[in-house]
């Protein structure tokens, strides 16, 4: 996964997500998530990191399941309750659950599984993509201007440092004997000021190294589009078969 | 939500001709510059000329606009900030601000004071390649130049390392490699050694000197510590209070020239190499460079209260037991033990990247560790911050510690809102001459004023332990003496523990009751050098 062209990978995964949004197939969503998880592990993502990411998803998924179960649309219930209609998702014929209940479960499962269906491709992109390769490929493959791609890169770098800045801001308040909650608005002011100053310093540093937003520039490493990138795009478009079944 | 200010689109770069011609100098003529349209001039009617082909050091008191001058010479100002209200800057006869960034970086290169704020990419290799990609060099040429620059700066072992994992010294070596790739005609250095240990600083300057001798380009460096440049630089120039740049004084090449040179430094309030701070403080009394702070210089006025004796009945104010620290997969400290008593001053020395700041971060609860850290006998939880009000903090960058919306709020933050608090705050602000700025945001003060405010803001708080990370970083002599004086007063009079990190051995041994050093993964008492 790490060798794929990052731009095409991002595009493929975006299309996959749009397809999943258009389909109401919980098993497909969960299968996509499982496949993404497998690809992440094969790409060297640490199982522990993956598990820690999945935990909040489980909580969110459970919440959405019960929301979907409780607030299923009446029209969906009527449709299922019609004589001879089968549950759209679950094989509940002759089960103890009524058809209305089956529809509620189905509705909950669709909502909950979508969390995983959307998170899987997102995590796959985030955890297996080198940000500098992504920026290079955005310029080379999609012809985006350096002003945009390097701005993205700089913002990415800043956000990764925000944790430390946040901790520093909290430590400064504690040093003065002031208790601040983790989401306190008082922390916002120093963080905002620092972000502005930081971005200005970074822009100056980039300019001092000859960077120009719209000038022609070369690329030290090319990020080619190979057959494997097209195969991956094809794999991501496979769920489209669901429209014809 | 980012507010990233990206660079302007390029105008077509005029063709630069680097053959030697008659205008080869850096020239300021009647230059006035201000940051705000309705604010005062930071630089007023400044004139002077720096000849090319030499290594020139520019010194002078803090807050006179030396760094601003470098940014103007680099062509980054007034585009990035401020406005030139009169006069002009010419580098080899050209206005650097009128050039496109691509053309400008071949004329002037700037090495920034803070290495954390000068990198755009993630790894050493990518950052170096970024410089040449900007100049549209072909990949093969980039690879060849990259190898040469990596070899020149001694970065072979670090080439694939993440920049955030490097020490200050290593980052400045990467910055040097960047300017080596860009090959500017003028190299401008803004306190490049400010947070480096002496060995890293020496390495950087020796590389720079050999390169300059080979390529004969011009160097203009702003630095308060003249001793860094002995045997390296050609000329010393001073930014004078009347807004002019002094004539060039040659750096001494022979031992017998040193006394006259030292005399010159002393006359102009600069740090004299090899002379004690107390002696320099005494000589500074009555001079125009008298510190602005508490009005009493270390060793020159009434001595602060005596330090607490080493033995104390209660538990130590701060104790480290079997402390092991790691960063980036390597050990910084192994099973370190130390105890620090209230009312005493401790200095912590060590090379760049040895773990001084990491140790402070561990005490503050930013990073995890093995072993235990105890504050007044109470064990802290690793990675968890101590209770509010137990640890005071003076950070390397004063902006990291500001919590108030105005200068007055900064001093009163965390205190009860009473008339007594306001009176005390007024007294403190008048003492450090910031009372007239009380309604301004702390971020609007100059660097020196911010640092004074940072220390003064602890005067009203009652935290028993003060941690200071490089409190005299990039300060001139007067500010260094004033800051240390303030810190000692806070510590002695409040019976608090002060632990500060520094690269300045002389400062450590003169001001601290005990000096500790991190060396080879061990924390031990340091011995004074003869």
Q: Do you find a cis peptide bond into B78, omega within 30 degrees of 0?
A: yes
DSSP letter at B359 equals H
Break chain B into its structural domains and give their ranges. Answer: 52-76+94-251, 318-525
pLDDT in tens, A5-49: 999 999 999 999 999 988 888 889 999 999 999 999 999 999 998
Query: Of chain B residues 353-382, which have a CB less than 8 A from chain A?
Result: 364-366
Q: What is the mean pLDDT of residues B388-402?
A: 83
pLDDT at B83 > cutoff 90: yes
B9 at A interface, C-beta within 8 A: yes
Range among A93-107, B238-252, B336-350 with highest mean pLDDT value: B336-350
Q: What is the mean pLDDT of residues B188-198?
A: 84
Nearest to B117 among A189, A202, A213 (CB): A202
Looking at chain B, the whole-number percentage of residues with pLDDT higher than 90 is 39
Q: Residues near A20 by Cβ (< 8 Å), separated by ≥ 6?
A: A28, A29, A32, A114, A117, A118, A239
Lowest-confidence pick of A225-234, B252-261, B427-436: B427-436
Nearest to B136 among A195, A199, A218 (CB): A218
Look at A176 and B414 and tell me if their CB atoms are within 8 Å. yes
Query: Of chain B residues 72-111, which have a CB less than 8 A from chain A?
Result: 74, 76, 79-81, 100-102, 104-106, 109-110
Residues of chain B with Cβ-Cβ distance to A207 below 8 Å are: 7, 76, 79-80, 101
pLDDT at B457 > cutoff 60: yes
pLDDT at B91 > cutoff 90: yes
Between the CA of residue B109 and those of B103, B123, B284, B342, what are the distances in Å?
11, 21, 36, 47
Look at A200 and B139 and tell me if their CB atoms are within 8 Å. no
| Residue of chain A minimizing CA distance to B444 | A193
Q: What is the mean pLDDT of residues B234-263?
A: 88
Residues of chain A with Cβ-Cβ distance to B164 below 8 Å are: 161
Query: In the prediction, which pLDDT does A83 show?
Result: 52
Q: Which helix (H) or strand (E) holds B335?
A: strand B330-340
Nearest to A204 among B80, B119, B143 (CB): B80
Give B281 to chain A, closest Cα distance, Å.
31
A62 at B interface, C-beta within 8 A: no
Look at B134 and A212 and tell me if their CB atoms are within 8 Å. yes
Q: What is the mean pLDDT of residues A66-71?
A: 82
| Residue of chain B minimizing CA distance to A163 | B366
pLDDT band at A89 (very low <50, low <70, confident <90, very high): low
Sheet hosting strand B465-469, strand order edge to edge: B391-394, B465-469, B497-501, B345-350, B514-519, B522-525
Q: Residues near B114 by Cβ (< 8 Å), separated by ≥ 6?
A: A201, B195, B397
Look at B403 and A213 and tell me if their CB atoms are within 8 Å. no
pLDDT in tens, B487-523: 888 888 888 999 999 988 889 999 999 999 999 899 9
Q: Is the ipTM of this complex over 0.95?
A: no
pLDDT band at A95 (very low <50, low <70, confident <90, very high): low
Look at B129 and A221 and tell me if their CB atoms are within 8 Å. yes
| Residue of chain A minimizing CA distance to B393 | A175
Query: In the prediction, which pLDDT does A97 show?
Result: 58
Cα A97 to Cα B439: distance, rounded to the nearest angstrom: 70
pLDDT band at A98 (very low <50, low <70, confident <90, very high): low
Other CB atoms within 10 A of residue A184 CB = 13
Look at A219 and B133 and tell me if their CB atoms are within 8 Å. yes
Angle, to 10 degrees, between the axis of helix B447-456 and the axis of helix B419-431?
A: 140
Phi/psi of residue B373, nearest 5 degrees: -125, 130
Look at A213 and B9 and tell me if their CB atoms are within 8 Å. yes
A162 at B interface, C-beta within 8 A: no
A191 at B interface, C-beta within 8 A: no
Give B37 to chain A, closest Cα distance, Å.
19
Pick the CATH number of B52-76+94-251 from 3.40.50.300, 3.40.50.1820, 3.30.540.10, 3.40.50.1000: 3.40.50.300
Residues of chain B with Cβ-Cβ distance to A199 below 8 Å are: 2-5
Looking at chain A, the whole-number percentage of residues with pLDDT higher than 90 is 31
Give A158 to chain B, closest Cα distance, Å.
9
Looking at chain A, the whole-number percentage of residues with pLDDT higher than 70 is 88
Query: Of chain B residues 386-445, which have a CB less than 8 A from chain A?
Result: 386-389, 391-393, 395, 399-403, 405, 413-414, 443
Query: In the prediction, which pLDDT does B340 show?
Result: 94
Query: In the prediction, which pLDDT does B339 show?
Result: 93
Lowest-confidence pick of A11-15, A137-141, A227-231, B282-286: B282-286
Query: In the prediction, which pLDDT does B312 show?
Result: 56
Tokens of B388: 């509010």
Query: In the prediction, which pLDDT does B9 show?
Result: 33
Cα A235 to Cα A32: distance, rounded to the nearest angstrom: 11
| Residue of chain A minimizing CA distance to B468 | A175
Between the CA of residue B456 and those of A124, A140, B297, B400, what are the distances in Å?
50, 53, 16, 15
pLDDT in tens, B252-282: 988 888 999 998 888 888 888 888 888 888 7
Between the CA of residue B20 and those of B23, B75, B233, B314, B353, what are the distances in Å?
8, 21, 22, 72, 42
Query: In the prediction, which pLDDT does B308 show?
Result: 56
B139 at A interface, C-beta within 8 A: yes
pLDDT averaged over every residue in chain A: 84
Query: Of chain A residues 104-133, which have a CB less than 8 A from chain B?
Result: 131-132
pLDDT at B300 > cutoff 50: no
Nearest to B2 among A158, A189, A210 (CB): A158
Q: What is the mean pLDDT of residues A183-209?
A: 87
First to last CA, chain B: 54
pLDDT in tens, A170-188: 888 888 888 888 888 888 8
Q: What is the mean pLDDT of residues B339-360?
A: 89
Query: In the prediction, which pLDDT does A76 show?
Result: 54
Look at A132 and B109 and tell me if their CB atoms are within 8 Å. no
Q: Does domain B318-525 have CATH number 3.10.580.10?
A: no
CA B233 to chain centre: 20
B35 at A interface, C-beta within 8 A: no
pLDDT band at A245 (very low <50, low <70, confident <90, very high): low
A188 at B interface, C-beta within 8 A: no
More confident residue, B3 or B402: B402
Lowest-confidence pick of A204-208, B202-206, B366-370: B366-370
Residue to substitute from A193, A208, A221, interface B, most B β-carbons within 10 A: A208
A–B interface: beta-carbon pairs under 8 A = 196
B489 at A interface, C-beta within 8 A: no
Look at B81 and A170 and tell me if their CB atoms are within 8 Å. no
Q: What is the mean pLDDT of residues A152-170?
A: 82
pLDDT in tens, B61-73: 777 788 899 999 9
pLDDT band at B13 (very low <50, low <70, confident <90, very high): very low
Cα B330 to Cα A207: distance, rounded to the nearest angstrom: 35
Look at A205 and B119 and tell me if their CB atoms are within 8 Å. yes
pLDDT band at A92 (very low <50, low <70, confident <90, very high): low
Helix (H, G, I), strand (E, B) or coil at B417: coil
Cα B220 to Cα B188: distance, rounded to the nearest angstrom: 5
Look at A205 and B142 and tell me if their CB atoms are within 8 Å. no
């Amino acid at each position: 996964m790490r060798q794929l062209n990052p731009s095409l990978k991002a595009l493929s995964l975006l299309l996959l997500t749009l397809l999943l949004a258009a389909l109401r197939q919980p098993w497909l969503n969960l299968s996509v998530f499982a496949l993404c998880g497998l690809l992440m592990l094969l790409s060297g993502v640490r199982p522990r990191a993956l598990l820690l990411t999945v935990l909040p998803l489980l909580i969110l998924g459970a919440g959405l399941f019960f929301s979907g179960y409780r607030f299923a649309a009446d029209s969906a219930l009527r449709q299922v309750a019609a004589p001879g209609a089968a549950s759209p998702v679950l094989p509940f014929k002759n089960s103890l659950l009524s058809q209305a209940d089956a529809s509620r479960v189905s509705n909950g499962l669709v909502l909950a599984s979508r969390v995983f269906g959307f998170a899987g491709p997102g995590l796959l992109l985030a955890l297996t993509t080198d940000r500098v390769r992504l920026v290079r490929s955005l310029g080379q493959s999609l012809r985006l201007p350096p002003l945009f791609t390097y701005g993205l890169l700089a913002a990415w770098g800043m956000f990764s440092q925000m944790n430390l800045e946040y901790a520093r801001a909290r430590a400064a308040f504690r040093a003065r004997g002031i208790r601040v909650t983790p989401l306190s608005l008082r922390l916002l002011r120093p963080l905002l000021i620092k972000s502005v100053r930081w971005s200005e310093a970074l822009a100056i540093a980039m300019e001092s190294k000859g960077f120009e937003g719209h000038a022609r520039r070369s690329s030290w490493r090319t990020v080619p589009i190979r057959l494997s990138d097209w195969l991956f795009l094809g794999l991501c478009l496979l769920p489209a078969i669901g429209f014809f079944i | 939500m980012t507010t990233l200010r990206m660079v302007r689109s390029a105008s077509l770069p005029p063709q630069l001709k680097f053959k030697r011609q008659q205008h080869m100098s850096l020239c300021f003529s009647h230059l006035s510059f201000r940051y705000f349209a309705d604010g005062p001039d930071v630089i007023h009617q400044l004139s002077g000329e720096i000849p090319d082909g030499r290594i020139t050091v520019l010194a002078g008191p803090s807050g006179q606009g030396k760094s601003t001058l470098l940014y103007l010479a680099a062509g980054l100002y007034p585009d990035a900030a401020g406005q030139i209200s009169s006069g002009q800057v010419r580098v080899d006869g050209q206005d650097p601000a009128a050039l496109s960034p691509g053309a400008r970086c071949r004329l002037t290169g700037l090495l920034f004071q803070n290495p954390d704020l000068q990198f755009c990419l993630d790894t050493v290799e990518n950052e170096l390649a970024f410089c040449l990609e900007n100049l549209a060099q072909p990949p093969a040429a980039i690879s060849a130049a990259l190898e040469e620059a990596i070899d020149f700066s001694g970065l072979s072992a670090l080439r694939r390392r993440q920049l955030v994992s490097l020490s200050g010294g290593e980052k400045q070596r990467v910055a040097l490699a960047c300017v080596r790739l860009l090959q500017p005609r003028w190299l401008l250095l803004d306190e490049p050694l400010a947070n480096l240990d002496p060995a890293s600083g020496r390495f950087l300057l020796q590389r720079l000197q050999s390169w300059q001798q080979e390529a004969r380009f011009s160097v203009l460096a702003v630095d308060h510590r003249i001793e860094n440049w002995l045997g390296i630089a050609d000329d010393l120039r001073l930014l004078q209070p009347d807004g002019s740049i002094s004539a060039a004084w040659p750096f001494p090449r022979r031992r017998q020239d040193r006394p006259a040179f030292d005399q010159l430094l002393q006359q102009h309030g600069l740090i004299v190499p090899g002379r004690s701070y107390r002696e320099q403080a005494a000589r500074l009394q009555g001079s125009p460079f008298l510190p602005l702070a508490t009005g009493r210089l270390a060793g020159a006025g009434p001595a602060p209260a005596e330090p607490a004796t080493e033995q104390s009945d209660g538990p130590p104010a701060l104790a480290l037991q079997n402390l092991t620290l790691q960063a980036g997969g390597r050990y910084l400290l192994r099973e370190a033990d130390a105890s620090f008593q209230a009312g005493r001053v401790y200095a912590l020395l060590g090379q760049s990247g040895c773990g001084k700041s990491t140790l402070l971060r561990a005490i503050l609860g930013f990073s995890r560790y093995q072993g235990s850290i105890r504050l007044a006998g109470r064990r802290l939880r690793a990675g968890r911050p101590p209770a509010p009000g137990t640890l005071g903090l003076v950070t390397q960058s004063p902006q990291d510690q500001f919590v108030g919306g105005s200068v007055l709020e900064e001093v009163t933050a965390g205190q009860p809102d009473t008339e007594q608090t306001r009176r005390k705050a007024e007294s403190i602000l008048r003492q450090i001459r910031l009372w007239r700025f009380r309604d301004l945001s702390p971020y609007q003060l100059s660097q020196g004023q911010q640092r004074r405010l940072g220390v003064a803001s602890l005067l009203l708080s009652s935290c028993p332990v003060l941690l200071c990370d490089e409190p005299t970083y990039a300060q001139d002599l007067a500010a260094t003496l004033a800051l240390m004086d303030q810190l000692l007063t806070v510590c002695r009079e409040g019976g608090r523990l002060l632990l500060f990190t520094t690269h300045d051995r002389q400062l450590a041994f003169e001001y601290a009751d005990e000096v500790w050093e991190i060396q080879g993964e061990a924390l031990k008492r340091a011995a004074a050098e003869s």
